[in-house]
Amino acid sequence: MIRFGISGLPAGNDDAAFLDDLLARGHRAVELPFVKDFPWKEKRCVSFGKLATERDIAVSVHAPYFAILTVEEQDRAKQCMAALEHTMKLGKALGSRIICAHLGNKHGRSGPELLDLVRARLDYLAPKVQHLGVALGLETAGKESAFGTLGDIAILANEFPFVRPLVDWAHVHAVSGGALTSKEAFASVITFLHDNFPGWMIDPLQAQFTDNLFGDKGEIKHIPYGTGSIKIGPLIEAARDAGLRMVIISEAKEQESHDAMLAEIRQTLAHGSAQQSEGRMLASGSVGFPEPVRVVLDGSYARPVGLPRPLRLSNIDKPFFPDGYTKGDLIQYYASIAPVLLPHLQDRAIVMARFPNGAEGDFFYEKQAPGHQPDWMPLAPIYSGHRGAAIDFVTARDPESLMWLANMGCIEVHPWLSRMTSVDRPDFAVFDLDPADGATWDQVIEVAKLVKVALDRIGLVGYPKTSGATGLHIYVPLDPIYEYARVRKFVESLGRLLVAANPDEITMEWDIPKRTGKVFIDHNQNVGGKTIASVYSVRPRPGAPVSAPFLWSELETVHPDDYTIATIWDRLQRSGDLFAPVLLGGQQLETAETALGLAGI
């Protein structure tokens, strides 16, 4: 639950010996303090990162102190952003999950002014770093003159997917006037973190710790551990009771301080006991899910503890995937992924792909709400010409809704491509690349490349995601102003051009035997009422893979099984929601239709 390490650099060039010494001392993390300049080139970072990975030591980097985000003068600001960009690139070479940066000083400016300035700097930085898979950790301010409360950082993290909070506990202690002296005080900050950041963003929480001397304007300097008023034991107790995992970096200057802190951590974990929590864990324990849910057993049912809406779960220990994941794991996954998934389901009708007996059992698709759904779950009535009446689809607007779906054996979540506010006009065009029998994943990749080239040439941007099964989906976000038939025609026309360009590998044949050995482009997914597995939906396959977004630059290396209910969390920590731009729309078809000869059709 806790990784403890130090901030420091090897004294010489023997990186392996440096890391081995860290392990011998019980350290499982290290922060490289590139605080004045960049003493290492990329080659050494790559080598060091590999050595650290072999030893299971987490590596982070502290950016130069001058690389701040509140500089107003444009030329200097560009230098600061270049330094942050370079730090993040070195972090990527090191395999780092996060780098640390300071926001900067207030200099008499108001909070809103500073937020707007930092937004401008992050807007400039975003296209340069958001693809790196390294988070920008914004360190909490330690002085009255410095900018960056946890509240400020929460606002920025909500707007920029590569930003994370980095809590310097000594700084929080200093600006609070020395308030962090008890487990309860630390717990109040942890509660704030849980309330203002999604679980995946702070799991684990990157943090720093040392003892410090402070005055009425904040931190004055670091001092040897044990000579001040902040202790690490109460933090560990509070984190353990809250289920918060942390990487804690000691910024003390003395080895004795590192040793004393680590000894106190071990003593607290060994002799303390977590507060008696109600019930048991919902999940099986085989995955370290963010925001774990506890349940109280009630006969053959389980009642989640602490949720705002009542929910009753059944058979939570039932094996649901061939490698041992349980129904409880599935329900917990959807509860944990909710902050990322729910925006993609907002105001959309959902078709449930239900597997009552797990991924290897029989399944069926259910459109009509079953009638015993919770009273608090809104339904989405959509008229069906086939039925001659409305179908009441279920919706998902909160974590409890997703948990209810999973409890129904709904492994896959299939939302409509359009929202209820524009039910006959989809928000995106979908290219569904489905390898037929005999086709390979490499062929899927080659077809995806062609789709990307074609979209580029007609002025549209697409966003790829693994299907979580054998194929790949490319979403082209649109303003919801076109009827389904028009969007379908666009996808069909572009698909047929691709077939003509590569008939040996691409097909749009409806006769299944004629698809053998080729990748099928299914343009009929772009029809009202047709649905496709949502981004972050689980798929009923061994390992519980999920449909995960990725960058075009990763196309050559990605694989459908890369991301599962166990591995998606590190991806989110590093990159945030790569599919978020799909929700913005902002693209129209007219220019593309003209290029395809569809204008006026």
Could you tell me which residues come within 8 angstroms of residue 570 by beta carbon, excluding any fewer than 6 positions away? 97
249's torsion region: left (phi>0), alpha (psi -120 to 50) or beta? beta
Comparing C-alpha atoms, which of 434, 466, 435 is closest to residue 554? 466
> Could you tell me if 521 and 431 are in contact, meaning their C-beta atoms sit under 8 angstroms apart?
yes
Kindly report, residue by residue over 32-48, the tens digit of the pLDDT. Answer: 999 999 999 999 999 99
Q: Are 403 and 305 in contact (CB under 8 A)?
A: no
Same domain, 325 and 258: no
- Residue 34 sits in the same domain as residue 160: yes
Whether residue 455 is found in the same domain as residue 346: no
Helices (H), 458-567: 484-501
In sequence order, which residues have a C-beta less than 8 Å from that of residue 246 and are 6 or more positions away?
1, 2, 3, 204, 205, 206, 207, 239
| 586 and 480, same domain (yes or no) | yes
What is the reported pLDDT for 384? Answer: 86
Is the domain of 378 the same as that of 481? no
Are 368 and 504 found together in one domain? no
pLDDT in tens, 330-380: 999 999 999 999 999 999 999 999 999 999 999 999 999 999 999 999 999
Q: Is residue 423 part of a domain?
A: no
Q: Is residue 442 part of a domain?
A: yes
Q: Round to whole Å and give the CA distance between 455 and 495.
A: 11
Beta bridge partners of 219: 214
What phi, psi does 125 have (nearest 5°)?
Answer: -75, -30
How close are the terminal C-alpha atoms of the chain, in Å? Answer: 60
Same-domain status, 16 and 156: yes
Tell me if 601 is assigned to some domain.
no
**Is 315's pLDDT higher than 90?**
yes
9 and 148 belong to one structural domain: yes
Q: What's the CATH number where 197 sits?
A: 3.20.20.150
pLDDT > 70 in the chain, percent: 99
**Cβ contacts of 448-453, under 8 Å, gap ≥ 24:** 448/472, 448/474, 448/555, 449/555, 450/498, 450/501, 450/502, 450/506, 451/494, 451/498, 452/552, 452/555
* 397 class by beta-carbon count within 10 Å (0-12 exposed, 13-18 middle, 19+ buried): middle
CATH number of the domain where residue 376 is located: 3.90.920.10
| Contacts of residue 309, Cβ cutoff 8 Å, sequence gap at least 6 | 374, 376, 398, 400
**Packing angle of the helix pair 42-54, 15-24 (nearest 10 deg):** 30
By CB atoms closer than 10 A (0-12, 13-18, 19+), residue 386 is: exposed
pLDDT, residue 274, reads: 53
User: Mean pLDDT throughout 321-329?
Assistant: 94
The closest alpha carbon to 290, from 335, 247, 324, belongs to 335
Report if residue 600 sits inside a domain.
no
pLDDT, tens only, 192-233: 999 999 999 999 999 999 999 999 999 999 999 999 999 999
Cα separation, 525 vs 33, whole angstroms:
51
pTM: 0.92
Q: Are residues 396 and 475 in the same domain?
A: no
Q: Are 169 and 207 in contact (CB under 8 A)?
A: yes
Boundary of a domain, candidates 347, 382, 415: 415
pLDDT in tens, 387-443: 889 999 999 999 999 999 999 999 999 999 999 999 999 999 999 999 999 999 999
Centre a 10 Å sphere on the Cβ of residue 74 and count the other Cβ atoms it contains: 9
Whether the ω angle into residue 480 lies within 30 degrees of 0, i.e. cis, is no
CB atoms under 10 Å from CB of 110, counted, come to: 9
**Does residue 10 have a pLDDT over 70?**
yes
Q: What is the mean pLDDT of residues 129-155?
A: 96
Angle between helices 484-501 and 441-457 (to 10 degrees): 110
Residue after which a domain boundary falls, among 253, 271, 289: 271
Count of domains forming the chain: 3
Distance CA 339, CA 341 (A): 6
Strands 410-415 and 301-304: unpaired
- What is the mean pLDDT of the segment spanning 88-106? 97
Q: For 244-258, 265-279, 341-355, 439-453, which range has the lowest pLDDT when averaged over its residues?
A: 265-279
pLDDT tier at 275, thresholds 50, 70, 90: low
Cα Rg, the chain, nearest whole Å: 26
End position of a domain, from candidates 218, 253, 271: 271
Classify residue 52 by burial, with Cβ atoms within 10 Å: 0-12, 13-18, 19+.
Answer: buried
How far apart are the C-alpha atoms of 508 and 514, rounded to whole Å?
9
Q: What pLDDT, on the 0 to 100 scale, is given for residue 600? A: 56
580-593 burial: b if 16+ Cβ within 10 Å, else e: eebeeeebebeebb
Please state, for a pLDDT cut of 90, what percent of the chain lies above it. 93
φ, ψ (nearest 5 deg) of residue 577: -90, 100
**Looking at the structure, do residues 186 and 204 belong to the same domain, yes or no?**
yes
pLDDT of residue 1: 80
Interval 508-556: pLDDT, tens:
999 999 999 999 999 999 999 999 999 999 999 999 999 999 999 999 9
Q: Is residue 420 in some structural domain?
A: no
Strand blocks (E) in 325-442: 350-354, 364-366, 379-384, 389-394, 410-415, 428-435
Structure tokens at 135: 């988070």
Q: How far is residue 19 CA from its own chain's centroid?
A: 29
Strands 472-477 and 389-394 turn out to be unpaired
Whether 272 has a pLDDT exceeding 70, the answer reads no
Q: Are residues 10 and 93 in the same domain?
A: yes
Instruction: Output the average pLDDT for the chain.
Output: 95
Q: Which helix (H) or strand (E) element contains residue 248?
A: strand 246-250
Co-location of 23 and 172 in the same domain: yes
In a domain, 421, yes or no: no
Concatenating the DSSP letter of every residue in 408-474 gives: TTEEEEEE-SS-GGGTTS-SEEEEEEEE-TT--HHHHHHHHHHHHHHHHHTT---EEEE-SSS-EEE
Residue 90 lies in a domain: yes
Residue 522 domain flag: yes
Strand partners for 44: none
pLDDT at 601: 53
Look up the domain containing 300 and give its range. 280-415
Supply 184's token pair. 């309860």
Alpha carbon distance 313, 592 (integer Å): 48
Q: What ranges in 33-143 are assigned the alpha helix state H?
A: 42-54, 74-94, 111-129
Q: Is the predicted pLDDT of residue 179 greater than 90, yes or no?
A: yes
Cα-to-chain-centroid distance, residue 354 = 26
Residue 264 has pLDDT above 80, yes or no: yes
